[in-house]
């Protein structure tokens, strides 16, 4: 994809095309003109079919955000389309999840990012750079575990911004391969991931006994 086409996407705010550039034109956003426009795009206002423009700040999680994130996780866990209800949000599971998030955050605060607008947290993304792989791989891998936006703020570009910031946070750590999972019934998530360049690789099957 030519560099001038990349700039044209930035000018019109085509989020999905901008994110796809990471995969087809490495280093394109290091050019001076692209750098400033790209940062404005992923941290500034955006428009989407879900509502009017929305000013969103994506930043690392703070300790005072954790209660909201626990409730977001519980909401996801209760949704059969998103989670399959494999891990119910019991009080014990909430405590365990909270402890795990704190551990991931302590490893690197940019592994847990939140979306904030008008002083309220409306979503988050959680990933982890994998250092626990049992076998050697030519890739340095990261896994995105959670991506959540409050229902009243969906379809307004928030998930796209969270995803973009997470991918950017992985770059300085040398990540070359990113994995993310979604239930086959979660069509909105699958559309988003495929749109920004993720491809289908593995199918997980389950059977109840």
Task: Confirm if 150 and 91 have CB atoms less than 8 A apart.
Answer: no
Q: How confident is the model at residue 120 (pLDDT cuts 50, 70, 90)?
A: very high
**Residue-range domains of the chain with CATH:** 44-195 (3.40.630.30)
Give the range among 1-10, 49-58, 112-121, 173-182 with minimum mean pLDDT.
1-10
Tell me, what's the pLDDT at 65? 98
Do 125 and 162 touch, CB atoms closer than 8 A?
yes
pLDDT attached to residue 16: 47
Confidence of residue 14 (pLDDT cuts 50, 70, 90): very low
Give the residue with greater pLDDT, 8 vs 76.
Answer: 76
Per-residue pLDDT at 21 exceeds 70: no
Residue 51 pLDDT: 63
pLDDT band at 41, cuts 50/70/90? very low
- Mean pLDDT for 22-39 is 48
**Is 90 exceeded by the pLDDT of residue 92?**
yes
Calculate mean pLDDT across residues 40-65. 70
Q: Look at the block and give the residue holding tokens 């099957």.
A: 205
Q: What is the pLDDT of residue 79?
A: 87
pLDDT above 60: residue 96: yes
Q: What is the pLDDT of residues 174-198, one digit of tens each?
A: 999 999 999 988 999 999 999 999 9
Phi-psi region of 141 (alpha: psi -120 to 50; beta: other; left: phi over 0): beta
pTM: 0.75
Termini Cα distance of the chain: 50
Structure tokens at 207: 């059977």
Look at residue 32 and tell me whether its pLDDT is greater than 50. Answer: no
Rounded CA separation 43/186 (Å): 26
User: Residue 194 has what pLDDT?
Assistant: 94
Contact call for residues 147 and 193 (beta carbons, < 8 A): no
């Amino acid at each position: 994809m030519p560099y001038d086409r990349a700039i044209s996407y930035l000018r019109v705010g085509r989020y999905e095309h901008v994110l796809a550039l990471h995969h087809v034109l490495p280093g394109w956003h290091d050019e001076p003109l692209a750098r400033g426009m790209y940062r404005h795009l992923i941290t500034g206002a955006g428009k989407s079919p879900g509502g009017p423009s929305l000013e969103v700040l994506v930043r690392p999680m703070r300790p005072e955000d954790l209660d909201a994130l626990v409730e977001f996780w519980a909401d996801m866990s209760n949704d059969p389309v998103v989670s399959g209800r494999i891990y119910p949000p019991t009080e014990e599971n909430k405590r365990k999840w909270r402890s795990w998030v704190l551990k991931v955050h302590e490893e690197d605060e940019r592994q847990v990012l939140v979306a904030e607008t008008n002083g309220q947290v409306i979503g988050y993304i959680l990933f982890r750079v994998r250092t626990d792989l049992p076998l050697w791989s030519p890739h340095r891998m990261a896994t995105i575990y959670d991506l959540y936006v409050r229902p009243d703020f969906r379809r307004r570009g928030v998930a796209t911004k969270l995803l973009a910031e997470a991918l950017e946070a992985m770059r300085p750590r040398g990540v070359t391969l990113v994995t993310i999972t979604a239930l086959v019934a979660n069509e909105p998530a699958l559309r988003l991931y495929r749109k920004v360049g993720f491809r289908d690789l593995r199918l997980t099957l389950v059977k109840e006994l």
